[in-house]
Amino acid sequence: MKKRIAIFASGSGSNAQKIMEHFKYSHDAEVSLILTNNPEAYVLQRADNFEVPSHVFDRHEFYNTDNIVELLNRMQIDLIVLAGFLWLVPENLLKSFPNKIINIHPALLPAYGGKGMYGDRVHKAVLENKEEESGITIHYVNERFDEGEIIYQARFKIEKDDNLEMVKFKGQQLEHQYFPKVIENLLKRVEGHKITD
């Protein structure tokens, strides 16, 4: 039985794209669902291109109902991947999927994490502080922003004349290179929904 992945994304979804590409012909896992809080998000187009079903929700549905948990259970999701998703995950979801929700962050946590630290803001802060390196972090999700246990980090060097675009590009390259592989490795350790049922 294939392991089933759900991806939450709020924007472009370039990571979601790489993950869908990676598992498109896999016998072991598939991207079964894309979820977003943003009806304009380009990730919805990407989901359509891969014929992956999608679900758009709003704040009320996410925080005040069990609809999303029920949907994920109904779809027998094994792993939840946050890829550019900016809302805090509510308790009902964390409780229903313990150790099965992961996030990617565009910096070397615990540095440059926390509320309000996302996307370009992270890279700008890194540049302002004249850091010599930055990187990516893949981590478990808990009830606080960017604080769950770290699963994987990769780093890159910041050259003297690197600007925002360059740092962003270097980070994105690492995300695209490693996120799908880390997910694949994690799934080997997650018991399938059929086994745990």
The binding site comprises 13-15, 59, 103
Q: Is 13 in the site for ligand GAR (CB under 6 A)?
A: yes
Is 139 one of the catalytic residues?
A: no
Complete edge-to-edge strand list for the sheet that includes strand 3-8? 54-56, 29-36, 3-8, 79-82, 101-105, 133-140, 150-157
The label of the residue with tokens 């695209």 reads 176
* 51, containing H or E segment: none
Rounded CA separation 80/136 (Å): 18
Our finding on whether 11 is near ligand GAR (CB under 6 A) is yes
- Stretch (H or E) spanning 39: none
In the complex with ligand GAR, the residue whose CB is nearer, 100 or 180, is 180
Closest C-alpha to 136, from 100, 103, 87, 160: 103
Please report how close the Cβ of residue 56 comes to ligand GAR at its closest, in angstroms. 15
Exactly one of 104, 109, 167, 187 binds ligand GAR (CB under 6 A); that residue is 104
The distance from CA 109 to its chain's CA centroid, rounded to whole angstroms, is 15
Residues 25-84 that bind ligand GAR (CB under 6 A): 83-84
> Please, what is the minimum distance in Å from the beta carbon of residue 74 to ligand GAR?
26
Residues contacting ligand GAR: total by CB under 6 A: 15
If one counts every other C-beta atom within 10 angstroms of the C-beta of residue 11, the result is 19
Residue 148 touching ligand GAR (CB under 6 A): no
If one asks whether residue 175 binds ligand GAR (CB under 6 A), the answer comes out as yes
Q: Binder to ligand GAR among 6, 15, 29, 34 (CB under 6 A)?
A: 15
- Active-site amino acid positions: 105
| Interface residue list for ligand GAR (CB under 6 A) | 9, 11-15, 83-84, 104-106, 118-119, 122, 175
